[in-house]
């Protein structure tokens, strides 16, 4: 909500326009709080947002913003337009009317406001009373506020905050979740750090970048969840067709700017799939070893294998968090290096050596335990 602190003597136009633009592009409902009337300069402050919206509509062909509510406080003309939403609607229609006698720039601002916001509203709020305005010791007590103001305030608040009236934030026609909003905030902060107000085209590009990053993260999350369903904790290994199934689903993108994000997505999927395979092989090996050693009574080795399997699972979860959040990159790099070093040692010859070791071990068990030949033979045949 824009407050009395904006567009005052203590802040520059850039400061106020920046806050106003950021709140508009990141919020679902923008409440523009004005005193007594809507002046022409009040509409001009919307120009950065409306120009951004005009460019956005050229790309997505739909209104980029959801709701703009003009809140006119200290309204002094109830005999022309009554307090509340209905009187505000009539006043706003008259104020945003496009006339041929107006300057072209004023006409464009009005047209863009209509084109950029899906819903426009206006609420006329009466003065809270002289005790509020002139008493320096006023501390917010309701008995000092005019009844008319309190009544209209009771009508206004449900319009904004009642559960049935709350609007979910939508960006490019899709509902945004908290994880997505983080990407948008990061993108917008970058372009607002300079001394000058960003060009609307920069805002549009930042939105497109954040939108694609959010899409990459969302698609990758869906991929990981689906792979876990195929080869999660209840399954001994991951089916090989999962990779081809997901890679074959083309990610629909409409321009070259988005193409690099598709490439990034596919590269991340390849990397994630490779790590799933590595983790799957480790889990499969420890699962077999744990089962065999537990079956022949070597519980200590079975516990060790279960420990290795648990460490591998913990490492995978940690690695996935690092890749997804971007935090603790040093830990992620260390996990990659350890996994790569271990995997280089696990080639076909080492696997053959492992089989030879178990074959020799079972022969030793057979010689030292003559009373259980059938048990030993069955274990050996299953291993071979």
More confident call, 356 vs 125: 125
15: buried, middle or exposed (CB in 10 Å: 19+, 13-18, 0-12)?
Answer: middle
Domain shared by 28 and 169, yes or no:
yes
Asked if 167 and 249 sit in the same domain, the reply is: no
Instruction: Give residue 103's pLDDT.
Output: 77
User: Does 282 share its domain with 165?
Assistant: no
CATH of the domain at 101: 3.40.50.300
| pLDDT, mean of residues 73-88 | 87
In a shared domain, residues 227 and 164: no
Q: Is residue 17 part of a domain?
A: yes
Are residue 168 and residue 222 in the same domain, yes or no?
A: no
Range name among 13-27, 193-207, 238-252, 328-342 with the lowest pLDDT average? 238-252
**Alpha-carbon torsion, ordered 36, 37, 41, 44, to 10 deg:** 120
In a domain, 56, yes or no: yes
Question: Is residue 351, in this structure, part of any structural domain at all?
Answer: yes
Same domain, 154 and 261: no
Beta strand 170-171 pairing with 174-175: antiparallel
| Residues 161, 286 within the same domain | no
Do 159 and 51 fall within a single domain?
A: yes
Residues 149, 78 within the same domain: yes
Q: Are 26 and 200 in contact (CB under 8 A)?
A: no
C-alpha span between 137 and 135 (Å, rounded): 5
Domain finish residue from 111, 145, 173 = 173
Do residue 62 and residue 154 come from a single domain?
Answer: yes
For the chain, the domain total comes to 2
| pLDDT score recorded for residue 205 | 64
Residue numbers of the domain that contains 115: 13-173
Is residue 203 situated within a structural domain?
A: no
Task: Note whether 159 and 123 are within 8 A (CB).
Answer: yes
Q: Read off the pLDDT band of 375 (50, 70, 90).
A: very low
229, 367: one domain: yes
* Assigned domain for 223 exists: yes
CA–chain centroid gap for 333, Å, is 25
The verdict on residue 162 lying in a domain is yes
Residue 94's pLDDT is 87
| Shared-domain flag, residues 138 and 240 | no
Among residues 53, 44, 61, 4, the alpha carbon closest in space to that of 24 is found at: 53
**165 exposure class (CB count in 10 Å sphere: 0-12, 13-18, 19+):** exposed
Q: What confidence tens digit (pLDDT) does each residue in 229-278 have?
A: 655 444 444 434 444 433 433 333 445 555 666 666 667 667 766 776 66
pTM above 0.95, yes or no: no
- Mean pLDDT of the residues in the chain: 68
Q: Tell me what percent of the residues of the chain surpass a pLDDT of 70.
A: 48
């Amino acid at each position: 909500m824009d407050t009395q602190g904006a567009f005052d003597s203590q802040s520059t136009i850039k400061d106020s326009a920046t806050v106003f633009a950021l709140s508009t592009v990141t919020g679902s409902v923008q409440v523009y709080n004005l005193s007594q009337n809507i002046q022409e300069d009040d509409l001009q402050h919307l120009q950065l947002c409306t120009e951004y919206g005009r460019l956005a509509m050229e790309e997505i062909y739909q209104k980029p913003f959801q709701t703009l509510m003009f809140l006119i406080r200290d309204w002094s003309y109830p005999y022309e337009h009554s307090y509340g939403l209905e009187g505000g609607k009539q006043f706003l229609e008259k104020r945003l009317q496009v006339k041929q006698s107006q300057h072209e720039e004023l006409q464009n601002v009005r047209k863009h406001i209509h084109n950029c916001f899906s819903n426009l509203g206006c609420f006329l709020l009466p003065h809270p009373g002289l005790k509020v305005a002139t008493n320096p010791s006023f501390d917010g007590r309701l008995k000092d506020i005019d009844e008319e103001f309190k009544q209209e305030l009771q009508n206004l608040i449900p319009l904004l905050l009642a559960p049935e009236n709350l609007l979910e934030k939508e960006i490019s026609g899709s509902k945004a979740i908290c994880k997505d909003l983080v990407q948008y905030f990061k993108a917008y902060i970058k372009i607002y750090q300079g001394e000058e107000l960003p060009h609307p085209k920069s805002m549009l590009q930042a939105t497109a970048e954040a939108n694609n990053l959010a899409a990459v993260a969302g698609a990758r999350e869906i991929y990981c969840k689906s792979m876990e369903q195929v080869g999660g904790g209840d399954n001994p290994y991951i089916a090989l067709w999962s990779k081809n199934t997901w890679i074959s689903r083309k990610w629909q993108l409409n321009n070259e700017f988005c193409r690099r994000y598709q490439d990034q997505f596919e590269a991340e999927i390849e990397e994630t799939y490779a790590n799933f395979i590595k983790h799957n092989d480790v889990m499969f090996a420890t699962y077999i070893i744990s089962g065999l050693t537990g079956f022949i009574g070597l519980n200590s080795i079975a516990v060790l294998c279960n420990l290795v399997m648990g460490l591998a699972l913990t490492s995978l979860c940690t690695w996935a968090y690092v890749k997804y959040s971007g935090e603790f990159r040093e830990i992620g790099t260390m996990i990659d290096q350890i996994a790569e070093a271990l995997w280089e040692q696990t080639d076909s010859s080492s696997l053959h050596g492992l089989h030879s070791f178990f074959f020799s071990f079972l022969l030793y068990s057979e010689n030292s335990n003559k009373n259980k030949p059938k048990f030993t033979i069955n274990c050996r045949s299953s291993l071979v």
